[in-house]
Amino acid sequence: MLTHTLSDTIVAPASPAGVGAIAVIRVSGKNAIEITNEIFSGKDLTQVPSHTIHFGTIRSEKGEIIDEVLVSVFHEPNSFTKENSTEISCHGSPYIVEQILKRLLSKGARMAEAGEFTKRAFLNGRFDLAQAEAVADLIASTSQASHQVAMKQMRGGFSQKIKELRSELIRFAALVELELDFAEEDVEFANRAELKSFLQNVTQYVNELLQSFAWGNVLKNGIPTAIVGKPNAGKSTLLNTLLQEEKAIVSDIAGTTRDIIEDEIVLDGIRFRFIDTAGLRETQDTIEAIGVERAKQKMQEASLILYLVDSSEMSENLDFLQKELQNLQKPYFILFNKTDKLSAEKIAELEKTLNALCISAKEQKGIEKLKKNLIELVKKQKISHSDIVISNVRHYDALAKTYQSLQKVLADIETAITTDLLAADIREAIRYLGEIIGEVTSEDLLDYIFSKFCIGK
């Protein structure tokens, strides 16, 4: 539970645990600068201007040097938390970090809870809840697409839109409630036709946002992509070909901790995750029936399907296949593999008649074209949705509830329900919208959201 008061001064390492060139310790709260100053020698930090950096040493109680450090000083309200803050950059040794933390604690600071810096930023009005959550997403982003979604959310486009809708709903609610005061006189301050048309617009917008969730999730977590096809169609070969370059890039980055590389590739900033690829490799020896079942299951789980056909055998019923794939109602590509075994004429004919992609997984032909098609497909999907993409389950939940209450309000207007019930239903929609940006939040919800952050954030 985050029950501490805001007057506390909190500290935490802001850089990851372990050895590094430098580590950063964050201090925030009313006495952040004084507390830092007490353990720092070199300059009186209480006298320096905001946004300045100072070189000096931090010593043990006995006066021995723990480390040479740089301290950045921020005066309230011009810091991340809007509180007095310092950031101590020391050498990246876990021992040094621990010793400096101990010194800060001995001077009256306390260890920060997970997410407490961001929680303070929220409570001090730096940003709303949706923006605070985007900070966590931003830190966790692993591709350009997920970074973009988080960055947009953090900069407040989504919040702004929700705020606008909410204040317009509040305006209507106020008018409807005013009617209650004049109940005897049968007046209508809130024009019902206007209210209805506004509600229809909002409902449509909220629905679009709800629709964008599936896509937002995909951008945030990568696109689950299934490579399916009969045994020996060349699925593993294709996967290896696709992963090859990626693996080379990843292992070239010195000091990377990711020694186990997942089966995923990043194309033009978009992450494609190949699902259940271990099983894929096994299908070669399993009997056909099980293979079909597995393939179907995999296709259900995926957002995108690459269906491989061995073009040198063509044992598939292509009409049937196409129908099956269409029934799944998700984007797919039929890939004719092993076209290195076919003549150029045959390839041209296949491409023309079946609108499929011809590749050779083994000889790495048509792979660039496949990648280009994958990127285009994703970009096309993105455009078809509103500019704002929902990627947070909590927002999705609140929007789904908003949607339901908006539907209820619309039905209320149709049935000319009593004014007090109408007002109550509008209030409900307002409350759900408010939950997203933190206009109405319980302490429990805040605890839940911020406890998912890491310490030091």
Q: Which residues are annotated as a binding site for GTP?
A: 232-237, 251-257, 276-279
The yes or no reply on residue 311 touching ligand GDP (CB under 6 A) is: no
Binding residues for K(+): 232, 251, 253, 256
Structure tokens at 276: 């259940």
The yes or no reply on residue 235 touching ligand GDP (CB under 6 A) is: yes
**Pick from 9, 37, 81, 237: which binds ligand GDP (CB under 6 A)?**
237
**Pick from 43, 59, 341, 401: which binds ligand GDP (CB under 6 A)?**
341
Which residue, 56 or 231, has its beta carbon nearer to ligand GDP? 231
The yes or no reply on residue 236 touching ligand GDP (CB under 6 A) is: yes
Q: Minimal distance in Å, beta carbon 10 to ligand GDP? A: 53
Task: Say how far apart CA 121 and CA 226 lie, in whole Å.
Answer: 41
Q: Minimal distance in Å, beta carbon 311 to ligand GDP? A: 9
Nearest one of 169, 123, 98, 133 to 8, comparing CA atoms: 123
Stretch in the footprint of ligand GDP (CB under 6 A) among 33-41, 142-150, 227-235, 445-453: 227-235
Structure tokens at 156: 């407040």
The yes or no reply on residue 361 touching ligand GDP (CB under 6 A) is: yes
Q: In what order do the strands lie in the sheet with 20-28?
A: 40-41, 52-59, 65-74, 85-92, 20-28, 10-13, 110-111
**Pick from 79, 146, 337, 419: which binds ligand GDP (CB under 6 A)?**
337
Listing DSSP states for 279-290 in one string gives HHHHTTTS-HHH
The yes or no reply on residue 279 touching ligand GDP (CB under 6 A) is: no
The yes or no reply on residue 52 touching ligand GDP (CB under 6 A) is: no
**How many residues make contact with ligand GDP (CB under 6 A)?**
17
Binding residues for Mg(2+): 236, 257
The single-letter DSSP state of residue 360 is B
Buried b (16+ CB within 10 A) or exposed e, 82-108: bbbbbbbbbbbeeebbebbbebbeebe
Say if CB 74 and CB 29 are below 8 A apart.
no
The yes or no reply on residue 286 touching ligand GDP (CB under 6 A) is: no
Angstrom CA distances, 293 to 25, 134, 249, 251, 298, stand at 53, 39, 35, 36, 9
Which residue, 232 or 451, has its beta carbon nearer to ligand GDP? 232
Q: Minimal distance in Å, beta carbon 373 to ligand GDP? A: 17
Say if CB 90 and CB 22 are below 8 A apart.
yes
Helices (H), 313-454: 318-327, 344-354, 367-383, 393-414, 419-437, 443-451
The yes or no reply on residue 338 touching ligand GDP (CB under 6 A) is: yes
Which residue, 232 or 386, has its beta carbon nearer to ligand GDP? 232
The yes or no reply on residue 284 touching ligand GDP (CB under 6 A) is: yes
Residues that bind ligand GDP (CB under 6 A): 229, 231-237, 284, 337-338, 340-341, 360-363
